[in-house]
Every structure is written in C-alpha cells, then in structure tokens.
Structure 1
Amino acid sequence: MNVKTMQTLENLAQLHRAYRQLHSLAYYGKVRRAQWKPVLSSACPMCPIQLHPLFWQPGARLVQFRLLSTKERKKPDKEKLKPIKPKTQKQEVEIRIQMTVEELAKAMNKDIDHIYEALLNSSIDVNSLEPDYVLDEVWIKDVIKKSGMKARYAKLKEEKVKENKDAVKRPPADPAVLTSRPPVVTILGHVDHGKTTLLDSLRKSQVAAMEAGGITQHIGAFLVHLPSGEKITFLDTPGHAAFSAMRARGTNVTDIVVLVVAAEDGVQQQTVESIQHAKNAKVPIVLAINKCDKPKADPEQVKKQLLAHDIVCEEYGGEVQAVCISGLKGHNLEALAEAIVALAEVLEVKADYTGPVEGTIIESRTDKGKGPVTTAIIQRGTLKKGCILVAEKAWAKVRLIFDENGKPMEAATPGLPVEIVGWKEVPSAGMEILEVESEQRAREVVEWRTYVEEQEKAKKDLEVIELKQKEHKEAYSKEREDLLNLTWRKRKSVLKQRRNLTGNRPKERTDDGKNRLAIIIKGDVDGSVEAILDILETYDADEECELDVIHWGVGDVSENDIILAKTFNGIIYGFNVNANKFIHKLASQKKVKIKTHKIIYRLIEDLKEDLNGTLPPGVEEHVLGHASVLATFDVTVGKNKVPVAGCRVQKGYLDRKMNFKLVRNGEIIWSGSLTSLKHLKNDVLEIKTGMECGLSVDGDIAFQVGDEIVCFTEEKIKQKISWDPGF
C-alpha cells in the first residue's frame, strides 16, 4: 500500500467520523439538514454517502455531504452531478394600510402602468383611476402578489423630533386695555318655537321666509342696532334635532343665551338640550316666553316646567330674567333687548382691540365667486384686509371682509360677525382663528399641524398592524402546538389535507355577505355636512344593510365625486348644493345617481328608501281557510297506497291551486301542494266552509285525527330597516 492510498483511507476515516458527529447534531436539532446538502458530488465506494471531490485530495476538509437514497445510487454519475438550484428570494415591498397608485408604483420600483395592468381583473374601474387614487390594503396586497413580490408593513420611522412651530393664543390681556364690545347672544330653543321669527322682528328682516321648509338649517350671525344705540350680535342656531353640534358650537362663543320657549307648547326635547348646552358652556340665560298672544298661552306653566331643569326665574327667587313676548307681532321686544343689555353690563363684556386677531369660525362654505368663505366672530384684535390668518390646517390672506348683509368692510372689531374671503382651503366650523405675522409663518404652522396629525395617524395604524400580527402569530403558534401533539401518521394526514385545501382554494370573498349601500355626502357648508354625519352615526351596524360613507365634503357635486361613486357603485346625496349640466351628463354616462335636497329630513327619508331597496323582498302569508282532519285512510293508486285525510272545512275555503300546510300540536309538520281534492267522489277545485272533503298531499305524510290543514297564499312585500334617525 503506497502513501497516497494511506492518505486517502485516512481522509475517509476522518470523513466518516465527521459524518457521524454531524448526523448526531442534526438528529438533536442543532444543525439544519439544509446546511449539509452537496453542490457537486460523487459517490463514496465504501458507503451510501455522497462526497465532494475535495475529499479525495490529501488534507481535504469536510464541506457538505448527505446520504444517497437507493434510487439515487443506481443513477449514472452524470445525473448525480447535477447542481441544486438555490431558492430565489422574493423582493419585499414596504406597504401601508392605504397607499396611492403612485406611491405603490414607487415602492415596487415599477411604473404606474404596471399597477393598472395588475388591477385589470379586479373590481376597480381602471379607466377612472388617477395616480393620486388611494388603494385599500386588499388591492395593494393583490397587486404585489400578482407581481411576484412579498408585502411587508412599513415600520414607523423614528424621525428627529421637529421643533414645535404651532401658533397659540396670546396670554390674557391687561384689564386696563380692555374696551366694551357688543355682547354675543345665542338664541336657542325647540324647533318651531319662533327663534328666527323673533330675530327677524329685532332686525326687521325676513330670514324665516327664505329658509327651506320654514326651519333654520344654518347658523346665522347678525348685528342688531337697538334704538338706544346699543349693539348686540345674535347667533340664530337650528332647533332641529339634527343640528345639535351647531347649537353646541354657538354656545361656545357666546356671552348670553336667550332661551326661547313657546307659551302654548312648553318645554320640549330641544329645550332641555339647549339648557344643557348653556350649562356646559357656563353661560347665563335670559328666558324669552314666545307666542304669548296665542289663546292657549300659559307663561306661568312654562316657568314651573323649567324649575325641574334648575332654571329658576326671578319671580320664584332665582336669577333668570323672564320676558313674555310675541316675535310675530313684535310685542315687548324692547324689554327683551333691555334685559340682554343689562345682563351684559353686569357681566362687563369687554375685549382687547389691539394686537393679533383671535376669533372662532361659526360656519364655512365654498362660494362659486368668492371661493372658500368663513363666517366668524372676532374675539380679540382688529381684523383688516391683508391679515394672515390660520385656522386648523388652512390659512388665508384676507382679501375681502363682509358684514351679515354682504356689504364690504374695511375692518372688524371684537364682537362683530363677519364673512372672511381669502382662504386657501375650507377650514372646519368651530375652529379657532389666529393671526400670524407672515405667509411663511402661516405655512410653517400648517405644516406642523399636518405633521402632528400624520404622526398620530401613523401611530394608530402601527398599533392596528402590530395587533393583527400578534393575533396571527398566536394563531400560528397554537396551530403548530396542536400539530406537534399528534402522532406522525396523523400529522402527515392533516398536512396532506391542508395542502389539498390550499392548493385548490377558491377566491376568497372580500365581504361578509351583507347588503351594502355606498354613499357620498356633499353639503353647502361644513355644519350641514357635520349634522348629516351625526345622524348617520345613529345607524345601527347590526342592520341587514351596511351603510358605507365613502366620502363627504363641502361644495357642489364634482367630477371626482362621480368617479368615486362609480368605483364603489354608490349614490351621491347633496344638501343645498348643485350639479351642472356636464356633471349630470357624466353621471348619466357612468350610471351614477345624484340626489339633492333642500331639507335635511327629506334627504334622510330618501336615504332610508334606498336602504330599504337593498333588502330582499319578504314573504307574507294570507290564510284562506282552515280544515280539521276527521278520519284517515289509504287509497290504492296503481301499485301504491296513498294516505288520504277526510276533512271538514271549519273556516274560509280550500283552494287546490294554493299552498297548504299541516299543523299538529301547534307545529308545522309539512308544507307544499295538494295532489288531489275530492268532494264525495268528484274532483273539485274549491271546498267552502262546512263542507267535507278528502285530500292527499305531495309527500309521504302520515295523517292523524285532529290535525289541522291550512290553505294560504304567499305575497312578496318590501322589507324596511328598523333605523330610526329621530324624526
């Protein structure tokens, strides 16, 4: 034996020792088998081990090896030397719960056309998609899967803490610089108790006649000049139940609340709610008992009813002034104005006329000629043209200022209601207005507020994602634990069944089988949209039809609204808004419904009808007659015996063409049609009250004496949802 042969045998011995050691480690789970599969190999002549060519050289070290199966050992060497292809790793794409088409294409390093192609066979109308269209999580994952990639939720990046550049109110002013201002008075009360009519009489206008349906549906801000020279700013808020948020907003900027109660109607639901709003805002109340000229008026009864709600008038030892008036005829309005002025003097209503402007937005809307417009109450400083204002995430360079009559103003002092024109976007009603020194500063404030909102939203999204991942992980761990507890034969059977299920699994449904109605809400002002959304919040999620508000906004119906409604197969509801001829033509082409209303409860009634229309028709039974079974017997028909019931009609009649059911001890045993109906030996179509008959039914039924036969018809009826919006 030469030296080379000895070295080879020595390497083989080392190899087998290493193999036994590595096989032992693999057996106890310390080494994965994937770590010792060969790349190129040849068979060992001594044992069924596949070896790397380096093993035959002196001083060779163990690289990779595995056991050869019997089938592999019989193969030619050429087939044994085939390389094993490494696994291809899928590209990971960082996603969020909602991404635009453009953002998704950028994350995948693809162009936008690739996204459109991946969505061709989905439920989305690809032709109507824009690059800034927001895709849902399901669609995002579907696009990534079709592209051969892997989705991964993006983690919230820890950015450097930005400097707080928000604008805030100034500290309270020095009492020495305060000057008297007109008091801001909010008129509250139940619907149709005469609030707007009272205000009309005070300012000699006809607002009530212009309101749709005779009810106020917006906050009206007016400055009233009294004969004594005093000025009072009045806020007229809607009394309807739908506008609770508007009333609350009115009390937050007011100094005094005038509670209007009809003398003939007394304290009602919105009256109690108005009292609660005033108490929450800690605002004093002046009681105006209206409609005292009516025959059934009883002011004393109203005062007694208010005692139950802690409103104690001066006549009963309290501090609330009560004035009996008639808003329609203008009786005793001077006394009401004097009571308001006297209370304002006691409260020492004053403001700082200097420095940056501070105020509150009462209402906001989009005007065709003026653009975004806000109705606001100035609370501090003097508003002038050219001022830079910030409200929420919108800012404005004031171009025009109008009073409540639409007349231009050069400046507005505290306590005055004004319309401000020059906003870049429509801010929400109820937001505070702050003046800043420059446009650059305004942009910084808006950017900071947008950044804060995005951070809060990202944190909420991350919490949702982490919760879902935790649930999936726990479910997977439990499934693995249950699997490991099985024997290897049962485990193999379970895995095989699972592969069969997942291999031919049908496309999963994205819904839960519920009927859905997608809607878009458009309103003339922010408060109207807010009121409608508050009503829709009362819709019960357990109803048979799911209500999905996919979009809402202020302004007329736009082309984007049509496209969005077409995508979700939805309906557009407009409140005090218009749609031009082009929009109506486009809606007709896209088969999108546009429904506009001037009165809010008409809009809700129309919505309820559409919700009812999504429900399947119900079935209503109409009983035609009852018969009792007196005897049972069998009749031979051909080679078969057919059970027959001898009956007497107790009530109504039996019609052979109609539906029948067999009732026994209060339970329905059978339902269907008759195969025969006979009177004596004659076949008949109808049996009336008091007559006897024999009948057989379609089915194998054993009749019993005392059973009841019921003849009935079925009628399809339209189902209705049980939602009660409150009016």
Structure 2
Amino acid sequence: MSENDGKKTLGIRGNRPGQVKQSFSHGRTNKVVVETKRKPRVVVPKPGTASAAKAAGAKGGPAKGDPSKRPAGISDAEMERRLKALQAAKAREVEEAAKRAAEEKSREEARARRRAEAEAKEREEREREAALKAKAEEEERKKREAEEAKVREKAAKAQPAPDPAAAQAAEARGTGKSSSAPRKTDRNERDQKQTRGKGSRDDNRRSGKLTVNQALRGGEGGRHRSVAAMKRKQDRLRQKAMGGAEPREKVVRDVQVPEAIVVSELANRMAERVADVIKSLMNMGMMITQNQSIDQDTAELIIEEFGHKIVRVSDADVEDVIDSVEDKDEDLEPRPPVITIMGHVDHGKTSLLDAIRNAKVTAGEAGGITQHIGAYQVQTDDGTTLSFLDTPGHAAFTSMRARGAQVTDIVVLVVAADDAVMPQTIEAINHAKAAEVPMIIAINKCDLPAANPDKVRTDLLQHEVIVEKLSGDVQDVEVSAHTGDGLDELLEAIALQAEVLELKANPNRSASGAVIEAQLDVGRGPVATVLVQNGTLKQGDIFVVGEQWGKVRALVNDKGDRVNEAGPSEPVEVLGLNGTPEAGDVLNVVDTEAQAREIADYRIQAAKDKRAAAGAATTLEQMMAKAKADQNVAELPILVKADVQGSAEAIVQAMEKIGNDEVRVRVLHYGVGAITETDIGLAEASGAPVIGFNVRANASARNSANQKGVEIRYYSVIYDLVDDVKAAASGLLSAEVRENFIGYAEIREVFKVSGVGKVAGCLVTEGVARRSAGVRLLRDNVVIHEGTLKTLKRFKDEVKEVQSGQECGMAFENYEDIRPQDVIEIFEREEVARTLE
C-alpha cells in the first residue's frame, strides 16, 4: 500500500493513483483513491535487424539469419510464412474491432433517433392536449361571459336610474381593465402557488433516496402514460369540445315468459345481469335466489322496470324449443335399417331371434346382453349392419306409433307353418299397415311334418297380404329356427328391402330417438334403452324424454361397452335420467337444463289433466289409447251397430262404465246402420261378438257369421244389453282366492333320514295339520318359506292329518333349511267366483 495526501490507495507501489466515487443506498457516497496499473510497453523490432535477432534469441526463437539458433527443421521460407500469418491475424483483429465500433455507433445513432422521435411525438401530443384544453377553457369562458352579460342586462332593466360610478365600474369590468391595486383574490392565489412551488422544491431537495423504480422511470418525468390511455383522453376531450358524448340507446327486447320462470332464465332472456334482477326483486320485498321461480305477473313487473316488453306464452309453447327442422338432402347419410320381429308367441318368434343371434354373434360374448337391452345389431356376411328390436308386446309398439315415432323400418311377421294365421298375427298385420311399414313374412317351423307353408300364404290373402309366390309384392321366406335353415335367405331379404327403402338420416344435428324399454337399476338408477333415429347422441347432452329429463352421464352399446356417442339406428342404454320413462316415449336433445325442466313439468301437468278427464273419453281413438295404456287389464272386445247416432253413443258410454281395475269392455268399432260382412270380418279377427241395437244383419253377413263362428246378439232395450255385457265381463274376472288357517305346529327336533332328507319332529299346538294343505315356515315371525309337505307321519305311519296336541314328523318339498323352535303355519286355499256389480 502507498500513501498519497494522507489517503489510502489501492494497488502496488510505483503505479499512478486515481479517485473513484462509490454510491450506496439512502444517498450515501464515498470517494476512494485507486492506483491504476500500467501495462509494460512492448517494443516489436523490425524483422531483419539486429534487435529483432536479439529479441528472437531472448525469446528462445531462432533468428532468420542465424540457422544455428533456429529450431531444427525450420527453414527461412517457413519462418517468413509464419511471420506473414501473424501479421495477417493482427490485421484481421484490427478490422474486426473497427467494424464492431462502426456497428455500435450506428446502433447508438438509431437509439438516439428513436428517442428523439418518441420525445417529439410526446411533445406534440402534449401540445395538442394543451390546445384542446385551451380551446375548451376559451369556450367555457365565452359561455360564462355571455351568461354574465345576460344577468347584467336583466339587472340594468330592473334599475331605472343606474349610478354613473357603478356603470363606469361595470364598463371597466366588461373591457377587461383592472385597477392599479391587485385584487385580494389574485394575491392569495399567487401566494398559494409560491408556497406550493417552494414545498415542491423542498421535497425534491429532501428526497435523497433513489429507488430502482425511479431509476427505471427516468427520474424527474415520473411514470409515462401509455399510448392507449393518451388516445382515450384525447377522445374524451374531443367529445367534450364537441358538446359531450351521446348516451348509448337501450335495446328493448320482447321477452317470452311462461306461467312460471326461473330468475336466472329471466335475466338471460332480458340480457341483463342476474344480480340486477335479484336487486330489483329485493326492492319489491321478495327475497329470491337465482334458482327460484317467479310467476308471470311478477316477471312482467321486472321486465317493465328494465324497459323491455313481455310476451306471455302458454305452457304448451315450451315444447317449441325442440328442433323440428327439415333436413336437407345433402346432409343425409345412409343408416342401418331397424327391424321389428312380430307374431304370435307360440309361432317361434323368440326362437328365431335366438337363432339369428347365435348365428351372427361371435363366440365368447355374454349371451344375455342383447336380450337385456331389448335391441342389438347383427353384421351379415356381406358387411351389412342390421338393428333388431325385441318388443315385449304390442302395447309398446302402439305407444310408439301413437306418438308419431316411426321406430321401425321393416316388420318381420313370424307365422308358424303348422298353425297358420292366428288373431295376434292379424293384429300385427294391422299394426304394420297403420304404421305404413313394409313386411317380410317368415314362415317358421318348416321342419315339422305337419308344416303347410302354402296354407299360410293362402290365409294371408284374406288380410290383403299377397306374397311374391302368389304374384304379390311381399317377400316370404321359409325358415326353421330349430335347424337354422333359411336364416341366410331371411337376412338377405331384409337387406334387399332396406336397399329399396334407401334409408338415410342426418347425424349432424340434435339427437332424437325412441325409448324401447326402461327400468330402475339399483346400482345405476333409471336406465332407458334408446334407439337413436336422427342426429348423434353424445355424452353430456341435455335431453327430455316423456315426462322425464336428464343429462347423458354414460352411454352403453349392445355389447356392454361404454361409448361417447351413438349415431342413427344405433341402440344404446342411457344413464342420467331423473326418473324412469315409459316405453315408447320420444327423446329429444335441448340446449339448457331450464328448457328440459320446463318441458318435463308441462308434460307432467298435462298427463295429470288427461288422467283426470279420462272418464270423459267418448271417441274410439281415445278409448283405444286408454285401453292399451295397461296391457295387464283383461278386455272384452265388442262391436256395436245401432239405428241412430244417439243410441250408439249412449251404448258406448254405458260400456265404459262397466268393469274395474282388472276387467274392462273395449269397443272396437261402433256405427250406424245394418250389420255388414266387413263388421263380421273385423269381429272374427279380434274374437269379439257383434251387438245390434234395433238393427239386423244382411244375408251375406249372416252367412259369413255362420261360416266363421261369429256370434251376433240383437237387443231393443239398452238395459238388457248392459246386463248381458256385464255378465260376460264377469267371466273374465279371476277367481278370488281365500286362505283359511287350520293349524300351527312347532318344530322340537330335526332329524336326518336317509332317502328323505331332513325331517322335523313337530308338536301340533293349534288346530290340525293336513297332508294336502299348504304350509309356511316362520322364523322369528318372519316367513322364510312357503310350499307344500312332502311327508306327514305319525310315528312310522303316513297319515292324512294330525290333531292338536299330538306329535308328528314333517318334511318339506324341495326345502331343508329347518331349525328347532321354528313355527309351521298350515292353511288351505279356496277359490270364490266374482261378479261385476
């Protein structure tokens, strides 16, 4: 270390000292003397001189002219080449340094130019703002002077003799001349400005700190405003100079409101904030959340308060949100056909379905899947996909047709070759004709010796079904579900019929479909098997089906696998419903949950009203719809012909009042006039009698009735007619079963007997025990088994009955879970015939 002027220096002895100023936080500084190191001067001698040779010798390198001191193997030429390379490298370094300096200088000039442009632009903006502000102040001053002039003019008119001195002062004020003495107000303002300026200078002088933010902002200028903020300020000043901004015009909307609407949905239809609507309701004294409903009158007050117009709609209008647009031809794509197999239950319909499934479903697949969901798809040999429906009964098919849902494309009518056409076969033909669906006749059981396919074709002629073999247009195939013969021909016929129909659908729209069957699963909740007809049903879609609604939580196909979407003609299980729908209900996808909830609530109310007014149905269509709503009710079908319309309607109303929950009278047809052969044909197809009230049958009708075995009854008094129909309906009532308890027995011991099984040693505690009676096994007063006795013994003898107080041995038929202390209840059943009152 060295001393210089009494201050310590940094460095080594012999170097020149210098001063460096150090800055610290909180405005503190310090000066330090630093010694600067001087690099030693290096003198490079010119080549060829004695000094150069000496320098080369000092560095250990050989001189050019002294080969003895040069390294071995280095010639003069090599030495010159090395020196030239060294000089070229130094020249390149000098050029690169000059180039870098030039680039740095150009960048500095560009930054300075951009900085100058930004400052000029900012200065121009400030000048423009100052000009606009000055202009606005000038206009405000002129306006204020004009108002003051008006006030002075009014005051001058009010004073008849003005004071000359006051007039002179007013004139002086008007010309803008001021008195020699400054006003007190001006002095106060000047003093305040000076005080503020002094305080500002003092503050700046005291602010010794320099923070990072102040350094980044650039010191005195503070934080600069953005260009967007400056433009917004200019726009506000420009609008103010032009007379102020025009208020935005409020959009008045026509708001559709049903009888009840949710608050959030009302706000959405008005395009207003939900919080504003709730605030308005609170001002009216109604503490309601956004998920609660309000009535139509309250909604009208809210809508008028927000300046909109209300459009009252009825409950039925809520279904207008369901998409019912017509698809364009270019949007349609081919889809698989939907086939429904119908026919008499004894004609092999189920066997034919099983044969098709076993023939076309790959081995190893769970056998119960397709039957479980009621619908499945089959792949033919040529790659064609067919969708089969297993409708459990005609009621489901009728409900689908009644709702206008064309669920099926082709009907396969199964007719047994040994049994020909049956009444249920005729009913299936009527269903297919009513739905305008083509039929394919499958003549089953052709392998039996008594099979007669030609008789089936001939019987079908009576119902206007003409097969191709008889020069008709209805395909017929002879099959055998037992042997599998003809199944391929049946599938080919179905594929040919589907190709003729040219079935197409639009998969790119809101989905719609029909419910094939529905059930309540313990683990999964309500589950509906849906056949998609239009569009694509996707996971997460909100839908309404019948009186229920929901959101698709999961989709399961016919193979039991979960899928994300289902296209047209594809059956899937839908999970996510809030309740179990009915078979035949139509599924439609909607936009929001509020719409789905409104539609479901409307349909529930409509169904309640319909059930309340069901007793007033007088037309044939209403009666048939009511009768088919419950297929478990036994029906007595009849045909009524009367002399006048009033009598026919009175008879029909009387028939509706006959019956109870188990039996009802179904009027297939009623009319005015004589009984014709057409009436006899309809009665023969449905197995119904024909009732004539003050009319008779013509000759052809009588002959047809005798041939077909149709009963015709004539009446002239309506009471006799009602009594006879009531007696006939009573025959359909199931007999009432009554139970008579005849005794009780208590199990004391349980023995195991070879060949018999477990035998209970019992004591008859009450009544009598009979071998032919029914028994129930009670354990802790809970019935755990009901059946019959296999044996009743007294000691070693088989007896018919055992009296009270005696011991006996009992063994149950197909049941051995008996324990001591169990109680056996012995009872007898008897049937009692019932009649309609």
TM-score of the two chains, using structure 1 as the length reference = 0.41
More helix by share: 2
User: Which of 1 and 2 has greater Rg?
Assistant: 2
TM-score of the two chains, using structure 2 as the length reference = 0.36
